[in-house]
Amino acid sequence: MLVAAAVCPAPPLLVPEVAAGAAAELGDARTACSDALAVLAASRPDRLVVVGASDADRQGPYPQGSRGSFRGFGVAEADVRLGAGDGGARPLPAALSVGAWLLEHARWGASPVEGLAVDERLAAERCLEAGRDLAARDGRVALLVMGDGSACRSLKAPGYLDERAEAFDAATARALAAADVHALAALDAGLAQELQAAGRAPWQVLAGAAEGAGLEGRLLYEDAPYGVGYFVAAWS
């Protein structure tokens, strides 16, 4: 049973050690993420699942205690762990590593934690099925859903400017604000790929998990620094 969800952006730049001198630029986003995690803690979950996109080779479940690293971004002392435990041999993909950092930063102790990485190209129906499977687990389940909007919001964006990007992100923001599972489920996977919106698959996992849960949503943050759409939302 899904009792709450938080949606946060997944750029490694959220981690101050990675952002270095630019850390203050995402200060409001980090604050909003902390507020969203407080909503999760207040829901008293029995289990928290961190959901994020990955490439096909790194998709699948990650047990509690799995480790991640930001060494690929030039930071040797910013390793993270997905809750306490021995974890597994596979390192966390970047999105789950950022989620693990957010939880460490918030000193999460409300429940055990595990991860689920989904292929960012996974078909919508399979994303929805994955979400339904999460919600069908015993006990009270909460989700921390990591994902970015379009990376084509400006000329200097990683994907350059695409005039369709702003409308795509606006529709996503409305769906997250209203906890509209039908609107999230209807996001066009092909368009999302063209707009480099890596959050599409994790958001559709959320849509599947939230079917029939009766959750209400709040959009806590929306911006497009660096030409990439970032959203923070809390569903409870």
pLDDT of residue 84: 83
Name the pLDDT band for 16 (thresholds 50, 70, 90).
confident
Q: Is the whole-model pTM more than 0.85? A: yes
Tens digit of each residue's pLDDT (9 = 90 or more) over 49-58? 999 999 988 9
Mean pLDDT in the chain? 95
Q: Average pLDDT for residues 166-193, to the nearest whole number?
A: 98
Mean pLDDT of 170-180: 98
Q: 84-136 pLDDT, tens per residue?
A: 888 788 999 999 999 999 999 999 999 999 999 999 999 999 999 999 999 99
What amino acid occupies position 105? H
Q: Would you tell me which CATH number, out of the four given (3.30.450.20, 1.10.1740.10, 3.40.1280.10, 3.40.830.10), belongs to the domain 2-235?
A: 3.40.830.10
Report the alpha-carbon distance of residue 124 to residue 152 in Å, rounded. 22
Strand partners, 231: 222
Tens of pLDDT, residue by residue over 63-80, are 999 999 988 887 766 689
Tell me, what's the pLDDT at 76? 67
Whole-angstrom Cα distance, residue 38 to residue 167?
Answer: 30
| pLDDT given for residue 24 in this prediction | 82
Nearest CA among 118, 144, 177, 184 for reference residue 45: 144
Sign of CA dihedral 153, 159, 163, 164: negative
Residue with tokens 């997944």: 10
* pLDDT tens sequence across 221-235: 999 999 999 999 999
Q: What is the largest CA-CA distance in the chain?
A: 47
